[in-house]
Chains A and B, each alone.
Chain A
């Protein structure tokens, strides 16, 4: 199902939650909506689903305007943040609910439920109640339930927000795999950039009810179009400096800019992997701390101008040779982005 959302406006009690939000999703696409909590992401899903009404703007599903169509008639599957499983029904009855409502014949219904439980790795759990399942299992039941009536569009609201990190990682890979098999057009909302980038075909970055950027994960990572996106995506150092002749200057440090801006004072944004450190006396900064993080090492340094910097290096990298806490280093900015101060 293709989706066109145009000029959505929404306020709750005088607070603007969505401000002129427009985007479209192609049939079969998996799109992630990424942004800080409270940025209006969930409201978009609820309006597309028909659970909330926009103050202005339009929603088109498969070329039909649906603003006056009741939620139950939109053929949209919705996965809620905290699962919202029917607590008094077994897993099978939860998954079968959407089929029972459609008076699906019993044998067809049972076959579809069994197939979905199998697909979700829930075989054998059909007679359990939601309270007897782990968080990851509940999430998969919620997905199975939403998929059962074969919706043309699947909306997922922070689908993995309530499970622990390891399960989350697993569910992400698994959602992508599921999408590649089922091809249901899907939109999911998350505040976790790893989640957005690892699962989505395209990402919509939002802040304070406005869309900041829409693009593929690579476009957004490499060519962030606003300062917000630059700072929100990836781990960044933000430094006060100047731009001169297409170069960023922060004290004695200089680096090339990926997108040039006019000369003058600027905020220089440098990704944690766009820095190089090497041991040098006198150098321009001091290493304050080295934090081993599994396959990576995080190095915290302080420039002589007083700006804290951090960078990640592969654990066994030659870039780390001779670098230790307290040593003097030279810092090279390999790539920077700048925004007028």
Chain B
């Protein structure tokens, strides 16, 4: 057996991932902490940065909550119901993955912008969507639509509908069937999809830049703030917020992976 081949390959893989991922991430970390922890805290502890991080967090949380419920329902419809438009619906759910996120943002502005019929009417009624916080949530909902659906669908497809029928025959009502029979096996998949949705929402840039108006303290999210700081000649501030966003990613992505493995690993 030739052991050198695998060793060489392993070395190449480690080298490749190192220069592509580890080095740039380290560079940002070094940049952020170059002037010591105090400077890092100072860079992040300004109102604009904190507001941006908080806005990114809560809009992501709302989008995640909504898309977790609707995504599970859509996955259910795709798996359990035979209807004429099913393949089309499946394709539409995937569409946000295919369109550039900036375009996704523009799509929302086109429909809900102050100049548009719908957006104008809503703005007149005191509920502006585009260039306001609801627009951010809407953009996140659109861009992250596929995550929960795609996480839950394969697990749901493996469930035997006879399990639900068995529960009914044993006297269970709809609520009990859902809570005790249907939900537990798909819960890890739902959680995996939710974590993915949240991670992606916190990091989302393209669609928000188009839709939010980017007003500091109001509609400026963390990723957009980073861009502003880079353009405004404050690389230390950009690096500091980037480190927080990296922190989200480093925690959330392995969590999503772990949950997804649990979801798929069940028999």
Contacts and interface: CB of A to CB of B under 8 A. Distances in A.
B266 A101 contact: no
A84 B160 contact: yes
Interface of B: 160, 162-163, 165-173, 176, 180-181, 184-185, 266-267
B170 A87 contact: no
A166 interface: no
A327 B17 CA distance: 80
B162 A101 contact: no
A72 B169 contact: yes
Contacts of B162: 80-82, 84
A87 B166 contact: no
Contact of B266 (A49, A51, A87, A97): A87
B171 A84 contact: no
Interface string A143-167: 0011011000000000000000000
Contacts of A82: 160, 162
Contacts of B180: 86, 97
A84 B166 contact: yes
A86 B181 contact: yes
A145 B170 contact: yes
Most chain B CB inside 10 Å of its own CB: which residue of A51, A72, A102, A131: A72
Nearest to B181: A86
B170 A101 contact: yes
Given A88-B184, A97-B172, 19 more contacts: A51-B168, A51-B169, A71-B165, A71-B169, A72-B173, A73-B171, A76-B169, A81-B162, A82-B162, A84-B166, A85-B166, A86-B181, A87-B185, A87-B266, A88-B266, A97-B180, A101-B170, A102-B171, A149-B170
A77 B185 contact: no
A148 B170 CA distance: 9
Contacts of B176: 101
A98 interface: yes
A312 interface: no
A291 B237 CA distance: 89
B176 to A, nearest CB: 6
A49 B185 contact: no
A78 B267 contact: no
24 contacts: A71-B169, A72-B169, A72-B170, A72-B173, A76-B169, A77-B169, A78-B166, A80-B165, A82-B160, A82-B162, A84-B163, A85-B163, A85-B166, A86-B163, A86-B181, A87-B266, A97-B167, A97-B172, A97-B180, A101-B167, A101-B170, A145-B166, A146-B169, A149-B170
Interface string A239-257: 0000000000000000000
Contact of A101 (B172, B184, B185, B267): B172
Contacts of A73: 171
Contacts of B185: 87-88
Interface string A106-138: 000000000000000000000000010000000
B63 to A, nearest CB: 29
Interface residues of A, number: 25
Most chain A CB inside 10 Å of its own CB: which residue of B160, B165, B171: B171
A155 to B, nearest CB: 9
Nearest to A157: B162
Most chain A CB inside 10 Å of its own CB: which residue of B165, B168, B170, B266: B170
Most chain A CB inside 10 Å of its own CB: which residue of B162, B169, B176: B169
A97 B168 contact: no
Interface string A48-63: 0101000000000000
B212 to A, nearest CB: 42
A51 B165 contact: yes
B169 A87 contact: no
A77 B184 CA distance: 23
Closest 6 CB pairs of A and B: A98-B170, A84-B162, A78-B169, A84-B166, A88-B184, A101-B171
A71 B169 CA distance: 6
A75 to B, nearest CB: 8
A51 B266 CA distance: 28
Most chain B CB inside 10 Å of its own CB: which residue of A73, A82, A88, A145: A88
A85 B163 CA distance: 6
Contacts of B168: 51, 71-72
A246 to B, nearest CB: 52
Given A84-B163, A86-B163, A101-B176, A72 B181 contact: no
Contacts of B171: 72-73, 98, 101-102, 149
A131 B166 CA distance: 17
B187 to A, nearest CB: 9
A278 to B, nearest CB: 54
Contact of A78 (B165, B172, B181, B266): B165
A300 to B, nearest CB: 42
A49 B160 contact: no
Contacts of B166: 78, 80, 84-86, 145
Contacts of A81: 162
A64 to B, nearest CB: 18
A98 B166 CA distance: 10
Nearest to B172: A101
A63 to B, nearest CB: 22
B211 to A, nearest CB: 41
A25 to B, nearest CB: 18
